[in-house]
Amino acid sequence: MSERIAVYPGSFDPIHNGHLDLIERCRPMYDRLVVAVLRNEAKRALFSVDERLEIIRELVGERHPAGGSRDGGDSGGACEVQSFSGLLVDFMDEVGARVVVRGLRAVTDFEYELQMAMMNRRLNPRVETVFMAPKEEYNYLSSSLVKEVFSLGGDLTGLVPDPVLARLRRHFAKG
Ligand code: PNS
46 C-beta neighbours (distance < 10 Å), count: 18
Q: How much is the pTM? A: 0.93
- Span from the CA of 82 to the centroid of ligand 1 (angstroms): 14
- Span from the CA of 89 to the centroid of ligand 1 (angstroms): 10
Helix and strand numbers (H, E) in the chain are: 6, 7
Is 133 a pocket residue for ligand 1 (Cβ < 6 Å)?
Answer: no
Length of the chain: 175
DSSP state at residue 75: S
Ligand 1 atom nearest 115 alpha carbon? 22
Q: Which amino acid is at 43?
A: K
Told to judge if 102 belongs to the known catalytic residues of this protein, a careful annotator would answer no
Kindly list the strands in the beta sheet with 63-64, ordered across the sheet, starting from the edge strand earlier in the chain: 68-69, 63-64, 78-84, 32-38, 5-10, 99-103, 128-132
Ligand 1 atom nearest 100 alpha carbon? 9
What would the mean pLDDT of 19-46 be, rounded to a whole number? 95
Determine which one of 16, 27, 143, 147 is catalytic.
143
Tens of pLDDT along 12-23? 999 999 999 999
Tens of pLDDT along 96-116? 999 999 999 988 899 999 999
Rounded Cα distance, 26 and 171, in Å:
31
Tens of pLDDT along 138-156? 999 999 999 999 999 999 9
| Long-range contact set of residues 112-120: C-beta below 8 Å, sequence gap at least 24 | 120/88, 120/89
Q: What is the pLDDT of residue 72?
A: 40
What would the mean pLDDT of 54-75 be, rounded to a whole number? 68
